[in-house]
Amino acid sequence: MYNNIKIGLLGGDLRQVALAKKLASMGFETAVWGLGVGGSDMLGEAVKCVDFRSAISSSSAVILPLPISADGLRVNCPLAKDSEELRLTQLVGLLEKNTIVLAGRLTDETRAVFDSGGIKIIDYYESEELQIKNAVPTAEGALAIAMNELPVTIRKSKCAVLGYGRIGKVLAEMLNNMGADVTVAARKSTDRVWAETVGCNSEDFKEFFKSDEKFNVIFNTVPSCIIGKEELSKIPLDTLIIDLAASPGGIDVKAVRESGHKVIWALSLPGKCSPFTAGEIIGDTIVDILRREGVVS
Amino acid sequence: MYNNIKIGLLGGDLRQVALAKKLASMGFETAVWGLGVGGSDMLGEAVKCVDFRSAISSSSAVILPLPISADGLRVNCPLAKDSEELRLTQLVGLLEKNTIVLAGRLTDETRAVFDSGGIKIIDYYESEELQIKNAVPTAEGALAIAMNELPVTIRKSKCAVLGYGRIGKVLAEMLNNMGADVTVAARKSTDRVWAETVGCNSEDFKEFFKSDEKFNVIFNTVPSCIIGKEELSKIPLDTLIIDLAASPGGIDVKAVRESGHKVIWALSLPGKCSPFTAGEIIGDTIVDILRREGVVS
Amino acid sequence: MYNNIKIGLLGGDLRQVALAKKLASMGFETAVWGLGVGGSDMLGEAVKCVDFRSAISSSSAVILPLPISADGLRVNCPLAKDSEELRLTQLVGLLEKNTIVLAGRLTDETRAVFDSGGIKIIDYYESEELQIKNAVPTAEGALAIAMNELPVTIRKSKCAVLGYGRIGKVLAEMLNNMGADVTVAARKSTDRVWAETVGCNSEDFKEFFKSDEKFNVIFNTVPSCIIGKEELSKIPLDTLIIDLAASPGGIDVKAVRESGHKVIWALSLPGKCSPFTAGEIIGDTIVDILRREGVVS
Amino acid sequence: MYNNIKIGLLGGDLRQVALAKKLASMGFETAVWGLGVGGSDMLGEAVKCVDFRSAISSSSAVILPLPISADGLRVNCPLAKDSEELRLTQLVGLLEKNTIVLAGRLTDETRAVFDSGGIKIIDYYESEELQIKNAVPTAEGALAIAMNELPVTIRKSKCAVLGYGRIGKVLAEMLNNMGADVTVAARKSTDRVWAETVGCNSEDFKEFFKSDEKFNVIFNTVPSCIIGKEELSKIPLDTLIIDLAASPGGIDVKAVRESGHKVIWALSLPGKCSPFTAGEIIGDTIVDILRREGVVS
């Protein structure tokens, strides 16, 4: 179905490995570079290239990792041999003008490199669909952390989920399905009603931090500092706190150092806990983008 | 309600800590020895004794750990200081004849020590109710292992559960609630019908090992060797195998060493993964036994 | 807590009965008229008035039914004796200017009657929270209809849910929990991703009506005509169609008459199937409004 | 797969119709008589015979309804024309000695008719697998009754399930999945522990009838009279009671007539509420029996 369309993948981690395998299995001619993994079976039908030039040449689309770069200069290649490296400027010079580049977590700087080279680049991480799908591996990763850390079972434990966005929704329901007693704290009353509808308790943040309820674990998904010195003073020291919110996160680091609470900052869980699933999700998104851009029909 | 009844706890791990706290919270006068934990809050109202004699004296019941002994001679005291040790024979000599002793996983030898001393001893680990309740922390522990090991999410993953006893039932349903695609392999057709009724697929073992289905993870709960050289030859090398069956377990160790499959032997999960919950479960069982024995009404 | 605050309820059905009982149980001095029900126990602490004047007098708030009126002239009193009737204009004349009136499903006409009288009136049916809460009794009512009509169990049946708004979300998940094979048809791709996330299949409407899948039941929640002659021609005659969308509904009535499909138009299910729950939901909403309006603190 | 094997179906209701369709779809040459339904599509590939002789002749197996007979004399033919009737003795006379007869709910009398004729007859209703599978349509039927009768939603309602056999297990979990607050009353402590494990509350019968808890609905599955005058005196009059237990059932009819409780006696729900599913279940069972008997391989 997607035969005769070549896609080049450069760099990345296990997510890109799963992504390459998926694209190849769909029929794309898939060439990878900078994924120095042994098991060819892990790459399926995808072909490994020793030189990035061969991966790029005559590719309709070039896919860069998530994040695109660790240092803002070179393509992020955690699995590559030290000898293998590719600078973004160098890459731009090699690309044909009509090639579409897809990458994750672009910064203004990295984006500028491609713009100045007249290369169209799209950030697949900005896809709302991808963000929703990522909520599942994120929630599972958070659940696994709680299971590993807590001396009690999730079943019958008291869990709090702060925030009811994508991750909050999926996590609260997952905990609920595991038999936990789940309380969702959310600002919007409609979010609280939805949480109640799926079987959770709900409170606004003021009620939540005022109440004397004791939780085994508190999961934060709110990306603004809502747990400071005063809030921590209300939380028992043996309550585990897991912060899932993107940096700067929702918990005052300095206050925690003083209070002595156990806090686990858990970021990028999809890539860490379920790289293959995360890669498949990126694959779905990339195919949608390629279709939207007319690269595939 | 249980005031004026003294119970002595000797040795044990975090399960005994939670158990002591629970019994004390119920009103029992609870005296512990050999649980050298710092936080008195962990023990709640229970009282720590420096000498086991004071923990024992005038106790209506004495509770020993699970397992009662690691070497068959001394009470199992993993949390105690090296100086602290108590030989079973010594303990028997100290007990008043009307004291009831409750312990876990008695062997003929350890039981004999108490019989010969004319001390009534009951194995709380033999309680069917305890075994059923333990299926939850066991299943959660198994789920956590799978989440930690698999590169994919449990949701949408293909999971096989071999055996449909207590653990198989709870684990299969838990995986199902997590959104996995669960196949139960069981010998009895009625077990298979029950598995289908709760939303799983089912096969007998012959069908299971003949089929070419590829699973992300296989959980074994059958306590007899059902996965040998031939069965392993049908299982892909990237399928994770988790053996939950009591020793000798269900997988041929020698065959695995040759085949190179990744097998995780996961035993005593309740105590390892959810010690507090496991301690509470032991507490429920002990109160039932004390009631049955007329120690409490 | 709400003592010394009088509320008058006029007319309505069993929802108003449950509402009156709830408000009275919360401490409001609750006076009802036009709910000619026998069992005083059904009304709990609420007091029945023979004359609407006594129900109204010195009430901080007056609550009218959902819908407020059947004929646009008189308060909707399905449970009242024929002799009992109250015209909206008459009511407005009796109300003190500072009284707040709460009613459901106001029309421009009915609203005008109160505006012209200088009486503040609020439509509690417009509350987003109420609409979300009503999704549960609506979904349960729809499930009950399907159970009553289908010759197969919901478990393992193939169910389609058209639209993924409030009712679609709750209904799809409820069917899923019952073990049905659920397909959600939705326009927005993010809605489809959410439906997949909770374990349903998803398609856009074009795919849905093109596919040859055979469903036991199709639930429509889309309030615009999406099932016309052509769509019906693709649906087997033994597929049950349940339309939950507000009038004009989503199915072309004329086309159905020709095609001979079995269609059930199911409207106002909360009031019909779960009047007490619906009344409680209205009660929650009314208390929120009274708090917002400063009638209660 | 099952071609060249003829099966004759005589009499029965919609379950037999679905059964005939299923057997025909599996490849059996399926001949039916006494199922005077119009829609040939309902019978699929099965062939209708005007004379029972042609349905019987050279059939390897003859399938009779559930129950086999209403009057103990003639085959149960609720869908047949009045002219069509078949006496059991007459049938026995027509059967070849090597024909296997399968029927449901045999009595000693009906069984004797075939024994005396030297015809092997097997009661498929005695299959444990069938009984387990039937628990699902039974539980759904009971749920539908409760939904139709209760003025509140199942979600958040308080439901009691008496007995924890096949039906109790499936019904309790179904109600639990619907969001109800479920209490299981059971005699065996292990059953109570299992009920707690799947998220229900549990009590033994003494506790249950002593407690002052108010339930919206009580489902009885215990086939011996456990709700008598005294028990009814503890149950509020607005609590709905649904008796699912086979005659004589679990509720003292005379006591109910005096107490005025609303009791619904709900028997044979699979056949009444989900005849097609019930027919498929019978089909599975019959194929198992035919395999066991060596009729099919």
Please report, for chain A, the start and end positions of each structural domain, with discontinuous segments joined by +. Answer: 6-126+275-292, 130-266
Contact (Cβ atoms closer than 8 angstroms) between residue D287 and residue D27:
no
Report the alpha-carbon distance of residue B208 to residue B184 in Å, rounded: 9
Residue A193 with chain C: CB contacts under 8 Å: 129, 132-133
Least Cα distance to A160 among A135, A143, A181, A179 occurs for A181
Q: Say how far apart CA B20 and CA D19 lie, in whole Å.
A: 60
Flag if D128 and B190 touch (Cβ within 8 Å). yes
Mean pLDDT of chain C: 94
CB pair distance less than 8 Å for C151 and D277: yes
Cβ(A76)–Cβ(A12) below 8 Å: yes
**A66 vs D1, more confident:** A66
At residue D246 the predicted structure's pLDDT band, cuts being 50, 70 and 90, is confident
D125-130: average pLDDT: 97
Q: What is the mean pLDDT of residues B258-273?
A: 95
Name which of C151, C152, C277 is nearest D153 (Cβ-Cβ).
C277
Q: Do C151 and D276 touch (CB under 8 A)?
A: yes
Does residue B272 surpass a pLDDT of 90? yes
User: Is D170–B197 a contact, with Cβ atoms under 8 angstroms apart?
Assistant: yes
The per-residue pLDDT for D40 is 58
* Cα separations in angstroms, D125 against C196, D49, D76: 39, 26, 15
D181 in Cβ contact with D174 (< 8 Å):
no
How large is the average pLDDT for residues A76-101? 91
Q: How confident is the model at residue D4 (pLDDT cuts 50, 70, 90)?
A: confident
Say which DSSP state B124 is in.
G
A neighbour chains, 3+ CB pairs within 8 Å: B, C
Q: Which of C14, C136, C154 sits opposite D151 (nearest CB)?
A: C14
Tallying the residues shown for chain D, one arrives at: 297
- Find the angle CA(C93)-CA(C94)-CA(C97) to the nearest 5 degrees: 80
Nearest-CA neighbor of D15 among D103, D94, D90?
A: D103
Query: What's residue A58's pLDDT?
Result: 92
Check: CB of residue C32 under 8 Å from CB of residue C43: yes
* Residue labelled with tokens 């020993």: B64
Task: Count how many residues are written for chain C.
Answer: 297
C204-207 long-range CB contacts below 8 Å, 24 or more apart? C205/C162
- Mutating which of A167, A184, A192, A194 best tests the C interface, going by the most C Cβ atoms within 10 A? A194
Residues counted in chain B: 297
Beta bridge partners of D185: D162, D203
- Both tokens assigned to C266: 């199911």
H or E segment to which residue A55 belongs: helix A52-56
Structure tokens at D95: 């059967």
The SS3 of residue A120 is strand
* pLDDT given at position D140: 98
Name the band, by pLDDT with cuts 50, 70 and 90, for residue D297: confident
Residues of chain C with pLDDT under 50: none
Q: What is the CATH number of domain C130-266?
A: 3.40.50.720
Superfamily for B6-126+275-292? NAD(P)-binding Rossmann-like Domain (3.40.50.720)
Q: Report the distance separating Cα B85 and Cα B101, nearest Å.
A: 18
CB–CB contacts below 8 A, A to C = 30
HEC secondary structure over C235-247: CCCCCEEEECCCC
The reported pLDDT for the residue numbered B41 is 73
D60 has pLDDT over 70: yes
Per-residue pLDDT, B188: 97
Specify the pLDDT at position D3: 76
Neighbours of B166 (CB within 10 A): 22
Q: Tell me if A14 and B150 make a contact (CB, 8 A cut-off).
A: no
For residue A39, name the pLDDT band (cuts at 50, 70, 90): low
Given an 8 Å threshold on Cβ–Cβ distance, is B190 in contact with D132?
Answer: yes
Tell me, what's the pLDDT at B81?
82
pLDDT digits (tens, 9 = 90+) for A241-297: 999 998 889 999 999 999 999 999 999 999 999 999 999 999 999 999 999 999 988
| Encoded tokens for B223 | 């306590």
The ipTM assigned to this model is 0.94
Q: What is the pLDDT of residue D83?
A: 77
- How many Cβ atoms from other residues are within 10 Å of residue B261's Cβ? 19
Structure tokens at D16: 């037999």
How big is chain A by its Cα radius of gyration, in Å? 22
Tell me, what's the pLDDT at D67? Answer: 94
Task: Using alpha carbons, list the distances in angstroms from residue C248 to A111, C66, C226.
Answer: 50, 19, 11
Mean pLDDT of chain B: 94
pTM of the model: 0.95
Distance, CA of D102 to CA of D295 (rounded, Å): 12
pLDDT tens profile A126-176: 999 999 999 999 999 999 999 999 999 999 999 999 999 999 999 999 999
Helix H, strand E, coil C: the string for C150-183 is CCCCCCCCEEEEECCCHHHHHHHHHHHHCCCEEE
Q: Give CA–CA dist A35/D75, Å, rounded.
A: 73
Q: How far apart are CA A88 and CA A56, in angstroms?
A: 13
**Residues of chain C contacting D152 with CB distance shorter than 8 Å:** 274, 276-277
| Closest residue to C193, CB basis, from A132, A189, A190 | A132
Contact residues on chain D for B190, CB-CB shorter than 8 A: 128-129, 132
Tell the residue number behind the tokens 């086991």, with chain if given.
Answer: B52
Please state the three-class secondary structure of A222-245 as a single string.
Answer: CCCCCECHHHHHHCCCCCEEEECC
Residues with Cβ within 8 Å of C253's Cβ and at least 6 positions away in sequence, in order, are none
Q: Do domains D6-126+275-292 and D130-266 have the same CATH topology?
A: yes
Band (pLDDT 50/70/90 cuts) for residue D288 is very high
Task: Give the per-residue pLDDT at C37.
Answer: 67
Is the predicted pLDDT of residue A84 greater than 90, yes or no?
no
Token pair of A142 as six digits: 């958070």
| Whole-number pLDDT of residue A38 | 60
Question: What is the per-residue pLDDT for B155?
Answer: 98
Q: Closest chain C residue to D142 measured between Cα atoms?
A: C147
d(CA D204, CA D211) in angstroms, rounded, equals 11
In this predicted structure, what is the pLDDT of residue D41? 73
Residues of A with CB under 8 A from a CB of B: 14, 18, 136-137, 140-141, 143-144, 147-148, 150-156, 174, 177-179, 273-277
pLDDT at D102 over 80: yes
Answer with the residue of higher pLDDT: A108 or B83.
A108
C135: phi then psi, degrees, rounded to nearest 5: -65, -30
Predicted confidence at residue D252, as pLDDT, reads 95
Mean residue pLDDT of chain A comes to 94
The pLDDT value recorded for residue B39 is 57
For residue D255 the two structure tokens come to 């006591």
How many residues appear in chain A?
297
Give the model's confidence band at B37: pLDDT under 50 very low, under 70 low, under 90 confident, else very high: low
D58: which 2 tokens?
């050279």
